[in-house]
C-alpha cells in the first residue's frame, strides 16, 4: 500500500471515529491520527492546500466543531481519491 492509499484510509477512519470513538486497542486517538496524517501529507509532498485543510480539520475537532472538521477532511479525501484514480489510469 502506498502513502496516498494509507492517507486515504486514515482520513476515512478519522471521519468515522473522531473525535472520541477510537477503539482503545488501536492506541490511536485524535492527536496521533493527525500526526500520522501530517507525516503522510509531508511524505507525499502534497500542496500546501492539503496541509491547510488538515490543520483546519484538526483545529475544528479541538474546538468541538465536528461537522466542519469532517467537511475539511472530506475535501482532502475527495481530491486525493481522484488523484489515486487518475494515477491508476495512467
Q: Do 56 and 37 form a contact (C-beta atoms < 8 A)?
A: no
Please tell me the distance from the alpha carbon of residue 78 to that of residue 24, in angstroms, as a whole number: 28
Give pLDDT, residue 89. 59
Q: Does the pTM of the predicted model rise above 0.85? A: yes
- How does pLDDT run across 54-89, given as a tens digit for each residue? 999 999 999 999 999 999 999 999 999 998 888 765
Burial class (CB in 10 A: 0-12, 13-18, 19+), 11: buried
- How does pLDDT run across 15-59, given as a tens digit for each residue? 999 988 999 898 889 999 999 999 999 998 888 889 999 999 999
**Pseudo-torsion of CA 70, 75, 80, 85, nearest 10°?**
110
Number of domains in the chain: 1
Domain that holds residue 75: 3-89
Mean pLDDT, rounded, for 4-8: 91
Amino acid at each position: 500500500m502506498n502513502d496516498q492509499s494509507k492517507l486515504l484510509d486514515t482520513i476515512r477512519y478519522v471521519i468515522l471515529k473522531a473525535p472520541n470513538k477510537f477503539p482503545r486497542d488501536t492506541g490511536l486517538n485524535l492527536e496521533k491520527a493527525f500526526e500520522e496524517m501530517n507525516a503522510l501529507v509531508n511524505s507525499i509532498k502534497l500542496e500546501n492546500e492539503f496541509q491547510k485543510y488538515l490543520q483546519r480539520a484538526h483545529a475544528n475537532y479541538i474546538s468541538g466543531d465536528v461537522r466542519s472538521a469532517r467537511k475539511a477532511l472530506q475535501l482532502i479525501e475527495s481530491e486525493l481519491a481522484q488523484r489515486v484514480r487518475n494515477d491508476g489510469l495512467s
